[in-house]
């Protein structure tokens, strides 16, 4: 019998500080979970659809990159950036190295925006989302934890299908 390779989950962050620190710690935790799921996958495995909808690990990374840009840059900060495409479809030019670098860059930009805001109740510069509403930074942080965690779970299943690796 072949053993399935596993990784040990690091568990949730121990941060139990002020609200902003705790929210950012949990967001970072689920962001890192997504990156861990993509780490070490062969390019073809990362791009391969694991379900009939066509979702792949790298497609999830591409989607989450767009979500970071949209919620923190475009909506909250009101940055002059193109409205991102939330699609998960990969173009022929979408390689793992570039997609992961783009995600890390989007996360760094989001962290900069979060770090400069001293009021979680501050409203977004632009209305956004399905209901086209202005949102507080608090709402955006919680939404991005939810969005990223949901897709980290999808990536977890897709990774296990691809090569048997489970855990964080």
Considering only residues 94 and 5, tell me which one the structure prediction assigns the higher pLDDT. 94
Lowest mean pLDDT among 72-76, 82-86, 137-141: 82-86
What's the pLDDT band for 8 if we cut at 50, 70, 90? low
| CA dihedral for 93, 96, 102, 106, sign (positive or negative) | positive
Position 129 scores a pLDDT of: 94
Minimal CA–CA distance to 103: which of 32, 168, 165? 32
Tens-digit pLDDT profile for residues 84-137: 999 999 999 999 999 999 999 999 999 999 999 999 999 999 999 999 999 999
**DSSP-assigned letters across all residues of 12-30:** S----SSHHHHHHHHHHHH
Considering only residues 167 and 137, tell me which one the structure prediction assigns the higher pLDDT. 137
Residue 10 has pLDDT above 80, yes or no: no
In the chain, domain spans? 19-163
117: left (phi over 0), alpha (psi -120 to 50) or beta: beta
Position 95 scores a pLDDT of: 95
* CB 46, CB 96: distance < 8 Å: yes
Residue 1 has pLDDT above 50, yes or no: no
Position 87 scores a pLDDT of: 94
Residue 70 has pLDDT above 90, yes or no: yes
Q: pTM of whole model > 0.85?
A: yes
Position 166 scores a pLDDT of: 80
Neighbours of 151 (CB within 10 A): 24
CATH superfamily of 19-163: dinb family like domain (1.20.120.450)
Minimal CA–CA distance to 107: which of 31, 25, 21? 31
Q: What CA–CA distance (Å, rounded) separates 93 from 115?
A: 33
Residue 6 has pLDDT above 60, yes or no: no
Q: Where are the alpha helices (DSSP H) in 69-117?
A: 96-116
Residue 75's SS3 state is helix
Position 164 scores a pLDDT of: 86
Average pLDDT along the chain: 92
Please name the residues in contact with 62: beta carbons below 8 A apart, sequence gap of 6 or more.
87, 88, 90, 94, 99, 102
Q: What CA–CA distance (Å, rounded) separates 5 from 108?
A: 31
Residue whose token pair is 């783009």: 102
Percent of the chain predicted with pLDDT > 70 = 93
């Amino acid at each position: 019998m072949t053993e399935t390779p596993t990784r040990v989950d690091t568990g949730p962050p121990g941060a139990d500080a002020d609200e902003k620190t705790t929210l950012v710690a949990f967001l970072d935790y689920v962001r890192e979970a997504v990156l861990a799921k993509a780490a070490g996958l062969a390019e073809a495995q990362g791009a391969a659809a694991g379900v009939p909808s066509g979702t792949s690990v790298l497609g999830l990374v591409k989607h989450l990159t767009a979500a970071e840009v949209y919620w923190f840059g475009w909506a909250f900060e009101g940055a002059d950036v193109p409205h991102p495409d939330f699609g998960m479809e990969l173009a022929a030019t979408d390689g793992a190295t570039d997609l992961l670098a783009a995600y890390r860059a989007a996360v760094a930009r989001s962290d900069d925006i979060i770090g400069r805001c001293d009021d979680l109740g501050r409203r977004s510069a632009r209305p956004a989302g399905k209901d086209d509403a202005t949102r507080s930074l608090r709402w955006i942080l919680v939404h991005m934890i939810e969005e990223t965690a949901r897709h980290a779970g999808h990536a977890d299943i897709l990774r296990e299908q691809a090569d048997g690796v489970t855990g964080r």
